[in-house]
């Protein structure tokens, strides 16, 4: 029987073990189970429990497991919904024996008072012995896909780590260097195990083994197959993509993460490292503005989620970074670390414009006018090219720095003037013409920037000034994005992503761009290209969902409630930064709007 066909039979066996009625037996001492990992020697059931474990398999299940040729490696990660998972490990002579051992351990934990809301089960399908690695050398395996074991005299479940544990404890780092010394920092070892581990780590070379696994998560009501510790969300071959409900749930949990990351002064925890529970001190006010905008987008969909109040706090913090511009005190500039960035003014303007749109409050309209006037001042009077992308403050000196993305951010902010100022719209149109006809002229499809901000701007400028040139350029950028998407990747869960190895945010920004290109291409009669954009967007969002921290992917982290809803840098890099979350929220909401046939100005509603 193929190993994947074991998923449902194993779930049917383990659901009653984790959630069902306990068999009779004496209470187990809670001190014996006060750890996040338990091996088969730690929790002993009494005779009654042992008899119950022996009887838990039906004759049909006995036959199924007995006829299976897989080794008896089983790992049960018990989920209480808050703490790092409690991991039970066993290696039996066959699967049936391993199941009984885990049943005994689980019953013992539950008698001590533990209550679980779900579990993850991993079973070994292939064993690769004697990797024989240098202690300070490089690993030859993909760290987030395989279990890694240390062999003492023989392979043991005790010193076998799941791939998620390897990443969470950085036992192999991002450059595939072994960091097995980090094993000492894991808190669950018994005194005897620590002594054995200390002896093994003194050796210049270690007998390591690799274990290939299959995984499933169950909450007692439904179960999901996992890959790399994440729900699969399919990869290719799906027409409709994620449901509108799932998109809203993921976007809302992402916004909830941002709200939790906002302090009383309106400043976000910019970059958070879940493995060490550390927030970096660095900051970026441009990304602060973009993140604030995404909270306002979320409020537009869910009016009672607290997102408006959080966004208004963030806007207050943003105001404190706005000063008179050095080139003209009548203008307003976003200043950070002695610099004024065209994109910073553009994203701040977008956030204030969105707030005016959603609330009808015009208090910030004078500030909006001054922020936008700076964007106009940086344009050439005849061509509307943005001549300066970054200035020093307070000197006002222009720097040679050029960003691919700042012009698109600025154009979008101009075309969204709260009172539809014709001068701003004309400046946006002419600025777009310059980018298309001068900056991007003669570039091959593969040379075009995957510029989501420009696609946003082209779509909205076209609604005001429907020029074919805008549609044509959007089609070219769309083609560049679609052709760069991972459709036949080395690893199945890379499908729909961008770059090798792929990252969450570049995928999300391209999904945003495709979401803006889709209605523009339809209006321009480019139906086939519009459908290609929508298909690529669905694939991209499926990948994005694999990079979010949910109840499954956060199982092995010490700060699970804090990370819930956050989007990490990549599948095996756990850093959460506010712009990662921002762009994922915007992409998810964009696909949801398209799925529901809505426009970007949909009305807020309570779920």
Tell me the per-residue pLDDT of 454-476, one tens digit each, with 9 for 90 and over.
Answer: 999 999 999 999 999 999 999 99
In angstroms, the CA 302 to CA 140 distance is 47
Tokens, residue 362: 């015009």
What is the rounded average pLDDT for all residues in the chain? 89
Provide the pLDDT confidence category of residue 429 given band limits of 50, 70 and 90.
Answer: very high
**Whole-number Cα distances in Å, 57 to 60, 100, 587:** 8, 9, 46
**How many C-beta atoms lie closer than 10 Å to residue 514's C-beta?**
33
pLDDT for the residue numbered 382: 93
Residues in the chain: 607
pLDDT-derived band of residue 234, with 50, 70 and 90 as boundaries? Answer: confident
- Residue 47: the pLDDT is 45
pLDDT of residue 190: 77
pLDDT for residue 32 is more than 50: no
Residue 336: count other Cβ atoms within 10 Å of its Cβ.
Answer: 15
Give 531's contacts (C-beta < 8 A, 6+ positions apart): none
- For residue 61, give the nearest of 124, 20, 111, 15 by alpha carbon: 15
Percent of the chain at pLDDT > 90 equals 72
Contact 116, 18 (CB under 8 A): yes
20: tokens are 């069902």
Residue 204 has pLDDT above 50, yes or no: yes
Query: Is residue 133 very low, low, confident or very high in pLDDT (cuts 50, 70, 90)?
Result: low
Mean pLDDT of 315-320: 98
Measured distance CA(487)–CA(384) in Å, rounded: 38
pLDDT at 41: 41
Question: Residue 39: its pLDDT value, please?
Answer: 45
What is the three-class DSSP state of 432? helix
Please give the Cα distance from 231 to 244 (Å, whole number).
17
> Beta-strand (E) ranges in 429-529?
none
Q: How many CA atoms lie within 13 A of 509 on its CB side?
A: 19
Lowest mean pLDDT among 38-52, 161-175, 474-488, 580-594: 38-52
Which stretch of 57-66, 225-234, 349-358, 402-411 has the lowest confidence by average pLDDT? Answer: 57-66
The helix (run of H) or strand (run of E) holding residue 296 is helix 285-301
Q: From CA 406, how far away is CA 345, in angstroms rounded?
A: 9
Percent of the chain with pLDDT over 70: 88
Please check the confidence at residue 28 and state whether its pLDDT lies above 50. Answer: no
pLDDT at position 228, please?
Answer: 94
Q: If you average pLDDT over residues 150-167, what whole number do you get?
A: 81
**What is the arithmetic mean of pLDDT over 481-487?**
98
Three-state DSSP at 143 gives: coil
- Which are the contacts of 416, defined by CB distance < 8 A and separation ≥ 6? 350, 353, 460
Determine which helix (DSSP H) or strand (DSSP E) holds 227, and give its type and residue range: strand 223-227
**Are 135 and 203 within 8 A, CB to CB?**
yes
Q: Produce one character per residue of 66-76: b if its CB has 16 or more CB atoms within 10 Å, e if not.
A: eebebbbbbbb
Q: Measuring CA to CA, how many Å separate 401 from each of 10, 72, 387, 396, 448? A: 58, 60, 10, 14, 19
pLDDT score at 193: 79
> Is the separation of the CB atoms in 502 and 487 below 8 Å?
no
Asked if 417 and 464 count as a contact pair (C-beta separation under 8 A), the reply is: no
Kindly state the average pLDDT of the residues 203-216. Answer: 85
Measure CA 57 to chain center. Answer: 39
- Give the helix/strand (H/E) hosting 472: helix 468-483
Contact status, residue 406 vs residue 340, Cβ threshold 8 Å: no
For residue 47, the tally of other CB atoms under 10 A from its CB is 9
- Res. 314 pLDDT band, cuts 50 70 90: very high
Mean pLDDT in residue range 480-500: 96
Q: Are the CB atoms for 361 and 368 separated by under 8 Å?
A: no
H/E run at residue 72: strand 72-79
So what's the pLDDT on residue 23? 80
Query: What is the average pLDDT across 523-542?
Result: 97
> What integer pLDDT is reported at residue 25 of this predicted model?
56
Instruction: Determine the Cα–Cα distance for residues 383 and 291; give it in Å rounded to an integer.
Output: 31
What is the rounded CA–CA span in Å between residue 453 and residue 470?
Answer: 14
- Look at strands 208-218 and 118-128 and give their pairing: antiparallel
On whether the CB atoms of residues 336 and 285 are closer than 8 A, the answer is yes
Residue range 25-32: mean pLDDT, rounded: 43
Confidence of residue 247 (pLDDT cuts 50, 70, 90): very high
More confident residue, 602 or 280: 280
Confidence of residue 206 (pLDDT cuts 50, 70, 90): confident
User: 39: closest CA among 225, 184, 194, 218?
Assistant: 194
pLDDT at 337: 97
pLDDT at 263: 97
What pLDDT, on a 0 to 100 scale, did the predictor assign at position 432? 98
Between strands 37-39 and 230-231, the pairing is: unpaired
* Mean pLDDT score, 433-462: 98
DSSP state of 86: E
Dist. CA 586–CA 500, nearest whole Å: 23
């Amino acid at each position: 029987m193929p190993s994947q066909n074991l998923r449902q039979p194993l779930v049917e066996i383990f659901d009653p073990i984790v959630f069902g009625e306990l068999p009779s037996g004496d209470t187990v001492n809670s001190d014996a189970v006060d750890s996040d990992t338990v091996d088969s020697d730690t929790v002993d059931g009494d005779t009654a429990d042992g008899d119950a474990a022996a009887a838990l398999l039906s004759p049909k299940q006995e036959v199924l497991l007995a006829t299976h040729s897989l080794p008896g490696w089983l790992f049960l990660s018990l989920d209480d919904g808050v703490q790092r998972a409690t991991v039970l490990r066993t290696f039996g002579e066959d699967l049936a024996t391993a199941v009984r051992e885990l049943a005994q351990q689980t019953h013992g934990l539950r008698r001590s008072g533990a209550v679980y809301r779900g579990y993850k089960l991993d079973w070994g399908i292939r064993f690769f012995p004697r990797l024989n690695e240098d202690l300070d050398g490089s690993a030859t395996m993909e760290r987030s896909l395989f279990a890694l074991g240390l062999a003492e005299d023989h392979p043991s479940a005790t010193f076998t780590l799941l791939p998620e544990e390897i990443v969470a404890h950085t036992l192999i780092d991002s450059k595939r260097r072994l960091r097995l010394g980090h094993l000492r920092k894991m808190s669950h070892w018994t005194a005897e195990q620590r002594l054995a581990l200390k002896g093994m780590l003194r050796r210049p070379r270690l007998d390591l083994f690799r274990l290939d696994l299959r995984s499933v998560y169950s909450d007692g009501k439904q179960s999901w197959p996992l890959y790399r510790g994440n729900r699969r969300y399919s990869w290719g071959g799906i027409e409709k993509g994620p449901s509108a409900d799932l998109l809203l749930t993921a976007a809302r949990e992402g916004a909830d993460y941002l709200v939790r990351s906002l302090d009383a002064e309106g400043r976000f925890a910019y970059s958070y490292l879940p493995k060490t529970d550390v927030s970096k001190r660095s900051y970026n006010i441009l990304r602060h503005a973009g993140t604030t905008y995404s909270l306002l987008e979320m409020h537009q969909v869910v009016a009672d989620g607290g997102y408006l109040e959080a966004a208004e706090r963030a806007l207050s913090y943003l105001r404190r970074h706005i000063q008179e511009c050095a080139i003209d005190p009548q203008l307003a500039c976003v200043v950070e670390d002695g610099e004024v960035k065209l994109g910073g003014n553009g994203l701040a303007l977008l956030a204030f414009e969105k707030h005016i749109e959603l609330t009808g409050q015009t208090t910030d309209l004078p500030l909006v006018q001054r922020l936008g006037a700076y964007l106009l001042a940086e344009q050439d009077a005849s061509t509307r090219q943005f001549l300066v992308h970054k200035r020093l403050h307070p000197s006002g000196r222009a720097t040679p720095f050029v960003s691919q993305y700042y012009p698109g951010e600025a154009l979008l902010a101009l075309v969204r003037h709260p009172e539809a100022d014709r001068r701003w719209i004309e400046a946006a149109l002419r600025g777009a013409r310059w980018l298309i006809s001068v900056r991007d002229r003669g570039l091959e499809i593969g040379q075009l920037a995957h510029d989501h901000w420009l696609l946003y701007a082209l779509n909205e400028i076209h609604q005001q000034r429907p020029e074919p040139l805008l549609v044509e350029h959007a089609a070219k950028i769309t083609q560049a994005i679609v052709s760069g998407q991972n459709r036949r990747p080395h690893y199945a869960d890379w499908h729909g992503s961008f770059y090798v190895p792929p990252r969450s945010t570049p995928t999300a920004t391209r999904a945003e761009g495709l979401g803006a290109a889709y209605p523009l291409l339809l209006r321009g009669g480019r139906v086939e290209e519009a459908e290609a954009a929508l298909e690529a967007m669905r694939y991209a969002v499926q990948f994005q969902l694999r990079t979010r921290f949910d109840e499954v992917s956060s199982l092995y982290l010490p700060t699970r409630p804090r990370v819930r809803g956050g989007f990490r840098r990549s599948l095996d890099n756990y850093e959460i930064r506010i712009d990662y979350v921002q762009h994922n929220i915007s992409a998810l909401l964009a696909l949801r709007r398209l799925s529901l046939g809505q426009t970007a100005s949909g009305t807020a509603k309570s779920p």
